[in-house]
Structure 1
Amino acid sequence: MKRRSDRWTVVRFVAQSATVGLAIAFLVVLVRPDLVNPPRERPNAPVNSYADAVAASSPAVANIYTERTLTPPGVGAGGTLRGGFLGSGVVIDREGYLVTNWHVVQGADQIRVQLADGRVAAPEIVGTDPETELALLKIDLPDLPSIELGWSDELEVGDVVLAIGNSLGLSQTVTMGIVSATGRGQLNVAVFEDFIQTDAAINIGNSGGALINSRGELVGVNTAVTSSSARNQAPPAGIGFAIPVNLVRGVMAQLIEHGRVIRGYLGTEVVDVSSREAAARGIYGPAVQLRTVTGPAESAGLRAGDILTHVAGQRVFYRQQAMNIVASTQPGERIEVRATRLDGGTITTFAVLEERPPQEGS
């Protein structure tokens, strides 16, 4: 009996030791998983590889497929066609908000979002802002990836950037380039323009996709490429444009909170005035001229034909600049406006801004 008792004592000791050992091993794996599955080393990895940046951001870049009913030119009633279109989008957070270009979803009868992991969802349109070419969608799926947002105001010409999107229907296509310029406007792509210019290749299907920096942070939303107006001439290569992420942040926040973007409105239409034309009025450098005057501008005493030189204390040189200053000011705020009259006189006045009326497609 004693020998049998000793045997069971040994068995219990071994079992207890094994249990304790497994518990310790579990804790080690929980705290230091790298000891069991060490990170994959790439002994011959290129020094200038951007694989880590792509791996961190690409799961949040989605394909967008839309269908629209089209009426070809010259075709009467009943001659409509259904067309399929490509685009891209970026999952901004794990709640399912996804940003893309307005033209990607404009007029769509059906929208389908496909994530990088293959899952498909029909999104809700939270809001659109045609004036910046942005749209915000929302998808309802668990365990969504998201992308880290960078700061576009930190970009400098020469910084490396990568464009990720559904290029020509080839999902998760990555192209590389540099920032060629910042603050590009007067492209007639959107009403309010402040584009990042890049030579990273942007093709059909890339619209709404991610422009990331070398750390994998989103710095822009790819939007447009230049086109050639000359017949039988290929479009210029290496010139694409992206909406800066700082602008995306503001538009997204307002669409979530209000369903629209609230902007200031002066009640004017303006056109650019060249340096030569301005000089004839005694103004040094280009400026903008009022074509029509209504609402707040009319109440402030401005007239059609006045040449604006300063808005809210800033010297304005171009139409786009003046519009951006007014739009970025909240309705109800009072701003100072300085202008030169056609007869050579000057006026300094104050206008209380209204809310900019909704634009087509908003």
Structure 2
Amino acid sequence: MPQLEFPPQDKGAARNAATPRSQRRPGMRAILLGATAAVALTGAFTHSVLLPQAANAETPTLNVPVNAPNSSPVVGPVSFADVVDHVRGAVVSVKVKITETADNEEANTGNDMPQFAPGDPLERFFRRFGEQGGVPFNKHSGKPRTGQAQGSGFIISSDGYVVTNNHVVENATEVSLTTDGGQTLTASVVGTDKKTDLALLKINGSGTYPFVKFSNETPRVGEWVIAVGNPFGLGGTVTAGIISARGRDIGAGPYDDFLQVDAPVNRGNSGGPTFNAKGDVVGVNTAIFSPSGGSVGIGFAIPAEVAQNVITSLREKGTVARGWIGVQIQPVTAEIADSLGLKTSKGALVAEAQPNSPALSAGIRSGDVILGVDGERIDGPRELARKIAALGPGKSTNLMYWHDGSEKTVAVKLGNLPNDKEAKADITTRPDKNVLGDLGLTLAPAAQVPGAGDEGVVVSDIDPDGVAAQKGLRVGDVILEAGGHAVSRPAEIGATLSTAKKDGRKAVLMRVKNREGTRYVALATTPAS
């Protein structure tokens, strides 16, 4: 798979639009739609990242049965004009002044991103995605730089509350809005939520404004929708299309659950609404996939049900409080499921239960697999994270989990998701070597490695083509457990693998810690040659 790359900074939206396609950088971008940001003396910037594109990818052909039962020609509405007349007065263009400093940039390097196993495609995507963005500044002088950015938004109350994206107003020092009628208004930021990329503004001063409401109906794939926004700073622009898919995870945040929309949206549509045929908001436009920076009919919007909950919390409290059980989780692979005696690979494997957390207090331990919440089964870690977060702190929930070969249920009272990060050991030295040749591992007791702690066995060297490296182990990782038992010497790992092989087990679970957190790795008892 090709590595992710970054395009050079744009020198203005107009120039980018005028650049011949043959001269643009190829590749697939996931672009946050906050349009242009004119930086003092430096031009424009955009939040964008190139994604790998499958080689020799072909466009699939859709074959429709000629004699499908109960089928009839389906056409769009005669006109969207009535709906547009009803909603366009509530859609505004958002323009912000931005001041960026070195401290701001360091705060925006994506350190609050979820953890993934090494080699996971989402890990690479998250890192690239998190590093991009911000107004350039002189790192040596530390002097702040100022610029401007544009996006879209929509009014949700008669007294002037406005929804937009967090990345449109992040680091803003001034915010102004332009209505469909050309009136310019100033606004203040009430609150923002990075994890869902949403922000709530309030128009300054008193007044009564046209507004729209969020839809209470879940849009179906194939339904007509209308996007209204401020592409490339042009002002109120209307496009139409359909809901192409639901539940998209594009790696933008830990609670991704995007609608995919084929209504054309571009830079500057960020924060703007997508309406259904009734004129209710079904999504907040946030990102696009594009080889050129312009629309190719693949856009992503935050669903109304997600946005409504976040905006209500921002309006009432200025922040978003999410439920927290205090576990570090990872997907259940087929090998892990086999090692634990699970029939399927659904659920979320607990790599670590944090100290003083609700999960630990309820008896959930590392190596357990959370299978469901309040009687509903989960597919994987992201669904678990969304469900727990949505319940909110202080709520009680019943967790179904797999422990020591059987399914159990426990009541857990949720805490409040903290913002702090736990410290990680810094492992820099390599002591005496002990080799597990079949796995391509060189190990040493953690107690012999400064900064590694007193527990576990450190990976001091690794064959990059070996089995262990292919499973994501790296130099500096600390193996805490093998087969459910704590280890302190390399020989204990070898013995565990040998015993498991004699017992007919295909793999052994290793509990591994590094700077990024704790996870499980399944190592085969008989590595393939």
Judge same fold: TM > 0.5, yes or no: yes
Distance 1:305 1:227 in 2: 40
Aligned to 1:218, which of 256, 281, 284? 281
One-letter code of the match for 2:270? S
Residue equivalent to 1:62:
92
Distance 1:335 1:209 in 2: 35
By relative contact order (CA 8 Å, sep 6+), the higher-ranking structure is 1
Alignment RMSD (CA, Å): 2.4
One-letter code of the match for 2:299? G
Aligned to 1:311, which of 352, 368, 373? 373
Residue equivalent to 2:268:
205
Distance 1:161 1:345 in 2: 47
Normalising by structure 2, we get a TM-score of: 0.54
Residue equivalent to 1:167:
231
1:309 CA displacement:
1.4
120-129 or 99-108: which moved more? 120-129
Aligned to 2:305, the other structure's residue is in SS state: helix
Residue equivalent to 1:90:
154
Distance 2:91 2:168 in 1: 15
1:51 CA displacement:
1.0
48-57 or 78-87: which moved more? 78-87
Matched, 1:53 2:117: no
Aligned to 2:397, which of 318, 329, 335? 335
CA deviations over 1:198-238 (Å, ceiling 9, x no partner): 1111211100001011232221111111356xxxx778822
> Which 4+ stretches in 1 moved above 6 angstroms?
233-236
Give identity over the alignment, percent. Answer: 36
Specify the structure having the higher radius of gyration (Cα). Answer: 1
Q: Flag the 1:148–1:277 CA change in 2: closer, same or farther, 3 A.
A: same
Distance 1:73 1:252 in 2: 32
CA deviations over 1:70-89 (Å, ceiling 9, x no partner): 46377412454322111111
Q: Flag the 1:358–1:116 CA change in 2: closer, same or farther, 3 A.
A: farther
Q: Structure 1: 5+ residue runs without aligned partners?
A: 1-45
Do the aligned partners of 2:228 and 2:236 also contact (CA within 8 Å) in 1? Answer: yes
1:325 CA displacement:
1.4
Distance 2:276 2:77 in 1: 17
Q: Flag the 1:337–1:104 CA change in 2: closer, same or farther, 3 A.
A: same
Q: Structure 2: 5+ residue runs without aligned partners?
A: 1-75, 102-135, 422-529
Aligned to 2:410, which of 344, 349, 359? 349
Distance 2:77 2:295 in 1: 31
105-114 or 248-257: which moved more? 248-257
Aligned to 1:135, the other structure's residue is in SS state: strand
Distance 2:334 2:295 in 1: 29
Q: Flag the 1:332–1:78 CA change in 2: closer, same or farther, 3 A.
A: closer
1:279 CA displacement:
4.0
| 1:1-362 to 2 correspondences below 5 Å | 48-70=78-100, 72=136, 75-78=139-142, 80-139=144-203, 140-153=205-218, 155-184=219-248, 186-226=249-289, 237-275=296-334, 277-281=336-340, 282-294=342-354, 295-341=357-403, 344-358=405-419
Distance 2:193 2:420 in 1: 9
Distance 1:227 1:316 in 2: 32
Size of the alignment, in residue pairs?
308
261-270 or 345-354: which moved more? 345-354
Distance 1:172 1:108 in 2: 22
Normalising by structure 1, we get a TM-score of: 0.78
Do the aligned partners of 1:167 and 1:202 also contact (CA within 8 Å) in 2? Answer: yes
One-letter code of the match for 1:84? Q
Distance 1:183 1:359 in 2: 29
1:278 CA displacement:
2.3
One-letter code of the match for 1:349? V
Distance 2:311 2:382 in 1: 21
Do the aligned partners of 2:267 and 2:294 also contact (CA within 8 Å) in 1? Answer: no
1:356 CA displacement:
1.9
Distance 1:66 1:359 in 2: 29
Aligned to 2:274, the other structure's residue is in SS state: strand
Distance 1:328 1:234 in 2: 33
Distance 1:164 1:109 in 2: 26
CA deviations over 1:4-52 (Å, ceiling 9, x no partner): xxxxxxxxxxxxxxxxxxxxxxxxxxxxxxxxxxxxxxxxxx9621111
